[in-house]
Amino acid sequence: MVSFTGSSAVGREVMAAAGGTMKRILLECGGKSAGIFIDVEVTDDLLQRFLFDGCSLHAGQACILQSRLLLPERIHDEVVERLVELARNVTVGDPTDPEVQMGPLISGTQRDRVEAHVAAAQTDGAKLVVGGRRPAHLERGFYLEPTILTNVTPDARIAHEEVFGPVLAVLRYRTDNEAVAIANNSQYGLSGAVWGADVDRAVGVARRVRTGQIAVNGCTPGDAPFGGFKQSGLGREGGGLPGLHQYMEPKAIGIPA
| Cβ-count burial 35-47 (b if 16+ within 10 Å, e if not) | bbbbebebeeebb
- Among residues 207, 232, 125, the alpha carbon closest in space to that of 169 is found at 125
Cα–Cα distance, 69 to 33 (Å, whole number)? 9
Is 145 in the active site? no
- Among residues 79, 94, 93, 92, the alpha carbon closest in space to that of 48 is found at 79
User: Is the Cα dihedral 85, 219, 35, 105 positive or negative?
Assistant: positive
* Residue in 29, 55, 63, 162 annotated catalytic: 63
Is 13 in the active site? no
Q: What are phi and psi of 207, to 5 degrees?
A: -60, -30
* Residue in 28, 145, 161, 237 annotated catalytic: 28
Which residues carry out catalysis?
Answer: 28, 63
